Amino acid sequence: RAALEQGYEPFRAMGQRSVDLIGATGELPAMGAHIAEHEAFLGRLDTAWQIGNTELARLLEARIDRFEGRRLSNLLLALAALALAGGLMFAVSRGLSTRIRRLVDTMDTLRQGDTSVEPPYLTDRHETGRIAAAVAAFKQSLLDNAALQHAQVEQAERAQAERRAQI
C-alpha cells in the first residue's frame, strides 16, 4: 500500500501542476516549453502503473494462495467425513447382517423340526429383538402344535384301547 501511495504521489503532483498551469491562463501553455516536463510525467505515470500492477499481482497471488489453502483443507475435511461415514456404514451393516444371519439360521433349524435351539437377541430392544421375538413365537407355535398332535395321538390310542376293551 505504501508503494502504491509513493508511486501515485508524483502522478498527483504532476496533475496538480497541469491544473495550475491551465488555471492561471485558462488556456493550455505551449507544448514546447513543457515537453521535458511531460516526458517526466509519463515516466512517473509508467512507474506508478508498474508499482500498481505489481501490487495488484501480489494481492491476487495472496488471495489465490488463501483460496487454495481453504480448498485443500475443505477437501481433506470432506474426505475425512466421507471415510468416517463409510466406516460407520460398514460397521452398522456388518453388525446387522450378522444378527439377521443368526436369526435366519435359527429359523432354518426350527423349520427342520429341531426345537431345542433358542432364538438369539431376545433381549434386544430394537429391530433384531423384535424379529427374535417373532422367531420365539414361531418356536412356541411349533411346540404347541407338537403337544397338540401328541395329545391327539394319545387320545386316539386311548379311544382305540377302550374299544378293544369293550370287545
Q: What percent of the chain has pLDDT over 90?
A: 60
Alpha carbons 157 and 112: distance in angstroms, whole number: 27
Q: What is the pTM of this model?
A: 0.53
HEC string for 71-114: HHHHHHHHHHHHHHHHHHHHHHHHHHHHHHHHHHHHHHHHHCCC
DSSP assignment letter at 27: S
pLDDT at site 121: 94
pLDDT digits (tens, 9 = 90+) for 87-140: 999 999 999 999 999 999 999 999 998 999 999 999 999 899 999 999 999 999
